[in-house]
Amino acid sequence: MLTRTRTGMLALPILLASTLPAQADAIDGNWCHPQAGNFEIQGPNILTPGGEKMTGEYSRHTFRYVAPAGERAAGETINMAIVDDETLHLLIESAGGNIEVWQRCTVNVS
């Protein structure tokens, strides 16, 4: 049986591989999902769908953080990778590999 850490190590390459080749400029900005809400990424800072300001592991095309208490998937690691300028793939590590497709939005969540 895989541990959570090992599962996460396996999930991130799968998520990243699903986004190649990434042609987008950067993951920074506002992202929306019809059922899950929206969030904003600015460098290593995120404003989560539940309104929590926190930091995560940032690179130009990926972002990773642990969902805070009181939010969907609380305590779980959330991995994100940008696909193109308008599309982001989000994977909750414990969700069995189901990738959510998020779209860039114009809603200001800050």
Cα–Cα distance measured from residue 38 to residue 105, given in angstroms and rounded to the nearest whole number: 8
The whole-number pLDDT of residue 79 equals 97
Number of domains in the chain: 1
The whole-number pLDDT of residue 96 equals 75
Helix (H) or strand (E) holding 11: helix 4-17
Q: What is the pTM of this model?
A: 0.75
Query: Measured between alpha carbons, how far is residue 77 from residues 23, 32, 68, 110 in Å?
Result: 25, 19, 10, 22
Helix (H) or strand (E) holding 15: helix 4-17
- 78, 81, 79: which is closest to 67 by C-alpha? 78
The label of the residue with tokens 């990434």 reads 22
Residue 49 belongs to domain spanning: 4-104
Is residue 110 included in any domain, yes or no? no
The whole-number pLDDT of residue 47 equals 98
Is residue 109 included in any domain, yes or no? no
The whole-number pLDDT of residue 97 equals 74
Q: What is the pLDDT of residues 44-95, one digit of tens each?
A: 999 999 999 999 999 999 999 999 999 999 999 999 999 999 999 999 988 7
Q: What is the pLDDT of residues 95-105, one digit of tens each?
A: 777 899 999 99
Structure tokens at 46: 């995120």
Is residue 64 included in any domain, yes or no? yes
The label of the residue with tokens 């609380």 reads 74
Q: What is the pLDDT of residues 23-46, one digit of tens each?
A: 568 999 999 999 999 999 999 999
Is residue 50 included in any domain, yes or no? yes
The whole-number pLDDT of residue 51 equals 96
